[in-house]
Amino acid sequence: MSTLLTGVGELVTGDPSLGDGSLLGLLHDAALVVDDGRVAWVGRSVDAPACDDVHDVAGAAVVPGFVDSHSHLVFAGERSAEFAARMAGERYSAGGIRSTVAATRAATDDQLAARAGAHVAEMRRQGTTTVEVKSGYGLTVHDEARSLQVAAALTPETTYLGAHVVPPEHADDPGAYVDLVTGPMLDACAPHARWIDVFCETGAFDADQARAILLAGRDRGLLPRIHANQLGHGPGVQLACEVGAAAADHCTYLSEDDVDALASTGTVAGLLPGVEFSTRSPYPDARRLLDAGVTVAVATDCNPGSCYTSSMPFVLALAVREMGMTPAEALWATTRGGAASLRRDDVGHLAVGARADLAVLDAPSHVHLAYRPGVPLVRETWVGGVRA
């Protein structure tokens, strides 16, 4: 059955070869045909073909569904007291992860699935149609594997993050924990994961440990990505480029060599400005990356510690206001940039053939996403051609 979405005041195709030829490929007074879950036609509404069903959005802007390329949704408990302490002057450190690990281990499978599902539903209401979900709060063979099974029921973009931190029971022998992550834990998790990730940072894993972990995962067919250069300068970005990671996420503290390596390898820089907001830290310099030709994605990093927002419109607004991005660049980074980070070409845009994943805004232009921060502007979210 075909559906005509018409009366689109501004259609963001995400394809510069369409419409006005800009980065976002804007079409005005536009329409889009959805057939079998895909975009079958885009153009001016006056030229639209007949369809089985017609849905008139009365002048609204339509944008590609957001692609959230970084989240940690499988967890139990919450850390609002830690947030309040930070806002009273405490610094963020990787150590807080361990309190979520304890709560997650104590939760049942059903509790973890219900909570993660609720967060995905919350994301959908805010226009997110593709989300990457990591494990990383279990840190035993059993708890990492079940975290990934919970994630896999929600998204194909699942990431094994057994190397989030060294759990307390291995504090005396981190090497033994790396052996576990690259051995029995990898065996149990690989069937449920597409990606492998490691938190490469002081207090988590150093470059040699992170390299061993990413290469072990790569040998098992998992695709590397990394948490890098979040809390200070470090080796994570160079390692990402060395192992051919799809993305280096955080990228808050970068040297010139880091920027050059990202630009020359095509590794996507994933910026997570909700983290800087929620830890009251300096924002990454998106302008510097864009001007150097680096592909930039912007994502939520939704997690109970460093950033507990599920809202792509919120991080988009932060990217504009705090990181020097234009509204068009920020929308690109939350859609096509996220898709590049996940090596997906079927999402993040609305050209013919793409998945019909989109958000209808209560606004005439995509600019309102940054211009009206904090306002729930997503009126409808469509996933695979179906209104979610």
Residues that contact ligand NIG, how many (by CB under 6 A): 12
Please report whether residue 209 would count as binding ligand NIG according to CB under 6 A.
no
In angstroms, give the least distance from the CB of 299 to ligand NIG.
10
From the list Fe ion, ligand NIG, none, partner contacted by residue 305 (C-beta under 5 to 8 A by kind): ligand NIG
In angstroms, give the least distance from the CB of 303 to Fe ion.
6
Q: Would you say 5 or 299 has its CB closer to ligand NIG?
A: 299
Please report whether residue 229 would count as binding ligand NIG according to CB under 6 A.
no
Q: Would you say 235 or 304 has its CB closer to ligand NIG?
A: 304
What is the spatial distance between Cα 335 and Cα 329, in angstroms, rounded to a whole number? 10
Q: Tell me the residue ranges of DSSP E strands in the chain.
A: 2-12, 26-35, 38-44, 53-56, 61-64, 66-68, 128-131, 133-134, 158-163, 195-200, 223-224, 226-228, 247-250, 268-271, 296-298, 358-361, 378-383, 386-387
Q: Which residue is nearest to ligand NIG (CB)?
A: 305
Written as six digits, the tokens of 161 are 């993050």
Q: Would you say 31 or 204 has its CB closer to ligand NIG?
A: 204
What is the spatial distance between Cα 88 and Cα 209, in angstroms, rounded to a whole number? 34
Q: Which of 132, 301, 329, 380 binds ligand NIG (CB under 6 A)?
A: 301
Please report whether residue 159 would count as binding ligand NIG according to CB under 6 A.
no
Distances (CA, A) of 362 to 10, 19, 66, 249: 12, 21, 16, 31
* Interface stretch with ligand NIG, choices 104-112, 139-147, 303-311, 351-359 (CB under 6 A): 303-311
What is the spatial distance between Cα 20 and Cα 25, in angstroms, rounded to a whole number? 6
In angstroms, give the least distance from the CB of 210 to ligand NIG.
13
Please report whether residue 230 would count as binding ligand NIG according to CB under 6 A.
yes
Distances (CA, A) of 74 to 47, 101, 103, 154, 170: 46, 10, 11, 11, 22
* Interface stretch with ligand NIG, choices 38-46, 93-101, 118-126, 178-186 (CB under 6 A): 93-101
CB atoms within 10 A of CB 221: 10
What is the spatial distance between Cα 336 and Cα 330, in angstroms, rounded to a whole number? 10
What is the spatial distance between Cα 140 and Cα 156, in angstroms, rounded to a whole number? 22
In angstroms, give the least distance from the CB of 113 to ligand NIG.
19
Written as six digits, the tokens of 170 are 């291995």
Q: Which of 96, 138, 224, 273 binds ligand NIG (CB under 6 A)?
A: 96
Helix axes 207-219, 174-182, angle to 10 degrees: 20
Please report whether residue 274 would count as binding ligand NIG according to CB under 6 A.
no
Q: Which of 144, 201, 258, 301 binds Fe ion (CB under 5 A)?
A: 301
Q: Which of 26, 113, 185, 275 binds ligand NIG (CB under 6 A)?
A: 275
Residues 287, 271 contacting (CB under 8 angstroms)? no
From the list Fe ion, ligand NIG, none, partner contacted by residue 96 (C-beta under 5 to 8 A by kind): ligand NIG
Q: Would you say 66 or 382 has its CB closer to ligand NIG?
A: 66
* 184 contacts: CB under 8 Å, gap ≥ 6: 141
| Residues near Fe ion (CB under 5 A) | 301
Q: Residues interacting with ligand NIG, by CB under 6 A?
A: 96-97, 100, 199, 227, 230, 275, 301, 303-306
